[in-house]
Chains A and B, each alone.
Chain A
């Protein structure tokens, strides 16, 4: 007869490769009244279960098997949104590995359980976390619906009640304000928290982020540096990220790379190596790129958390390092691991064609590139288009290659990453003299379209302005610069006409959603969303008075 407890409604997933440990944990959960329990022996099975079922509690052993550990699984689940936001993740570790496990983490689990585990251990943590969940429920419900304004109001209630969860509410409030683009208010919240506790790392970090969001990059960098120099924050990789982003925004790509390399020393995880590898590749620092991408592919080989892009970037790096043999071998191995992944296959062909040219197999290269042309989705500002363009340039199809690069620039002309990749592709293939021309001409064409639309708007030809910018969006649906302008011009038209035109409102929503996907976490998108919200509330306000 199952016992009824406050935890009886939780359904749990135990992830452990040892059958005896599974049984023990199941027994301890049963003592707490948790009887809806599924088991997984490894990360792959766990991911399958999580895709189909909803759990409230996951107990995961740190040492799963040779392929992936519990920390990598947790990162994979959080990065891919495979865990409901209210699901608790407890990491089970042996005491001998706790120090290394707990200090070297980016995603922190809700709790660490040290073996041997007792039921009261689990109970203590569950009770505390469920209390917290209950206390912050209203806030999190708003956050789940992206209602950040509502979340701020709920945070204020918790803070006003002077409850035990005040600091947690302040933390959520700061995050919500940053999402709303209200960086000055966010700074105020973080300063309040720091008044209560000067060394609080999350508040220092929030303050640094708020400065970055406000475009105060130097201040942001210095605040992040202070965190890293402090005893409590020396292992805080998020602070390294803020610093790297601030440096990048200031145009110091090399400095950003150094900071990321430091962060990978602090937390040597596949995800950190990937970040360093990709950044080094874009900067043309091929040896560093290779070193780090090899680490990633080795660490994730054969695991559910392996990402096809890692293999592709590494193969391209090897080609750039004039090592076609290794590149082809890597791509052939990768084809097995990423079966049924059409995106991998097509880009892989484009890189393989480059390697074949280098190896002197021109006939093979011609056949491979023909297949690549059929399958690569063109006209995008992405790695795939640049890889294909490079293959075209290397096989002597200069016109086709340059055309592809031009379309890639046009697809997202303000994106510094794509500009960097295109410049590199041209220089690598002996077309360094054309960098300015390709990038500038494509960008200039677009700039003109945007400028035309803006001029029409200034001349009060509102409908013509909208028509012009909409035409640009239609031609370049994923160009972030165009989308931002389109959102702005549409918003301004709403304000001028003082009318909530449902079609225009829907259109702006669509663009903002698209921008969210194209540039996640971008401060510019956040600002535009704020402008849109203010536009709506200004137009809605008068009607409320009727």
Chain B
């Protein structure tokens, strides 16, 4: 497995285990059959996810995107639904998470949904950590491709190096690996980080 792919999986594993740990900790404090059932289901879901990563990307060589036409809004909606399902009180359940359909999203785009969800999940995780009250997801057409956007209303990027200030760096490596795996002709995907004019940080994943 290439180093960037490895980083990608490790990062995701770290975040996901964090959620599970919080869930189990809560269960220890207040054991309920319902809570146990949820934790078990969560654990099974996680195991399944890693099996899928291993299967799809655990081979030698660089990350390969298997492109298909997908609806960007449906991808974001899946992402939101899963985040809501697994998010617990410890990681900002009070933060509002919305998918904005502002009419700018293309009806379809050619992406590897597995990879894109992996990258957006990492970006979303980061945004939820820094947001004050709200994280919004949207997509817009850019050239022949698509740009996924994750906005938060947190403090924004630090003054020096934007990437290292906000995360371990692995999350960015992950997103960049996913972006690079998406190509169309000579054009490759890109990750962009910026501050929003009205405050907060903006993450963009452009896929040609």
State the A residues within 8 Å of B (CB).
95, 98-99, 114-118, 120-121, 124, 128, 162-168, 196-199, 232
Contacts and interface: CB of A to CB of B under 8 A. Distances in A.
A350 B39 CA distance: 68
A99 B55 contact: yes
A117 B47 CA distance: 10
B51 A114 contact: yes
A115 B51 contact: yes
A199 B69 CA distance: 13
Contact of B184 (A124, A162, A198): A198
Given A118-B45, A163-B107, A167-B108, 10 more contacts: A99-B55, A114-B52, A116-B44, A116-B48, A164-B74, A166-B69, A166-B107, A198-B184, A198-B185, A232-B67
Interface string B41-63: 10011011001101110010000
Interface of B: 41, 44-45, 47-48, 51-52, 54-56, 59, 67, 69, 71, 74, 78, 107-108, 110, 144, 184-185
A486 B71 CA distance: 50
Contacts of A162: 107
**Which of B51, B54, B74, B144 has its CB near the most chain A CB atoms (within 10 A)?**
B51
A49 to B, nearest CB: 29
Contacts of A116: 44, 47-48, 51
A455 B77 CA distance: 69
12 contacts: A95-B52, A95-B54, A99-B55, A114-B55, A116-B47, A116-B48, A118-B44, A118-B48, A120-B45, A164-B69, A164-B107, A196-B144
A143 to B, nearest CB: 20
A95 B108 contact: no
Secondary structure type dominating chain B contacts = helix
Contact of B48 (A99, A121, A167, A197): A121
Contacts of B184: 197-199
Nearest to A231: B64
Contacts of B45: 118, 120
A99 B71 CA distance: 25
A167 B110 CA distance: 10
B34 to A, nearest CB: 16
Contacts of B59: 99
A90 B45 CA distance: 19
Contacts of B144: 196-197
B78 A124 contact: yes
Most A CB contacts (10 A, CB to CB) among B45, B55, B107 go to: B55
Nearest to A121: B48
Nearest to B52: A114
A167 B69 contact: yes
Contacts of B47: 116
Contacts of A115: 51
B51 A168 contact: no
Nearest to B108: A164
Contacts of A166: 69, 107-108
Nearest to A120: B45
Given A114-B48, A116-B47, A117-B48, A168 B55 contact: no
A197 B51 contact: no
B29 to A, nearest CB: 27
Contact of A95 (B55, B69, B74): B55
A197 to B, nearest CB: 6
Nearest to B50: A95
Contacts of A124: 78
A503 to B, nearest CB: 48
Contacts of B69: 164, 166-168
Contacts of A167: 69, 108
A124 B74 CA distance: 11
Nearest to A168: B69
Given A116-B44, A164-B71, A164-B74, A197 B52 contact: no
A438 B44 CA distance: 71
A141 B45 CA distance: 37
Contacts of B41: 118
Contacts of A99: 55, 59
A98 B59 CA distance: 12
A225 to B, nearest CB: 20
Contact of B51 (A95, A128, A164): A95
Contacts of A198: 184-185
Nearest to A164: B71
Nearest to B41: A118
Contacts of A164: 69, 71, 74, 107-108
B82 to A, nearest CB: 9
Contacts of A232: 67
Max chain A C-beta neighbours (<10 A), residue from B45, B69, B78, B144: B69
Contacts of A197: 110, 144, 184
A166 B107 CA distance: 8
Please list the 7 inter-chain residue pairs (A to B) with the smallest Cβ-Cβ separation, ordered nearest first.
A95-B55, A164-B71, A167-B69, A98-B55, A164-B107, A95-B51, A164-B108
B22 to A, nearest CB: 20
Contacts of B74: 128, 164
A165 B69 CA distance: 8
A472 to B, nearest CB: 50
A119 to B, nearest CB: 9
A99 B52 CA distance: 11
A166 B54 CA distance: 32
Contacts of A196: 144
Contacts of B78: 124
Contacts of B108: 164-167
A114 B56 CA distance: 10
Contacts of A114: 48, 51-52, 55
A544 B175 CA distance: 62
B52 to A, nearest CB: 6
Contacts of B56: 98
Interface centre among A115, A124, A164 (most CB of B within 10 A): A164
Nearest to A198: B185
Contacts of B54: 95
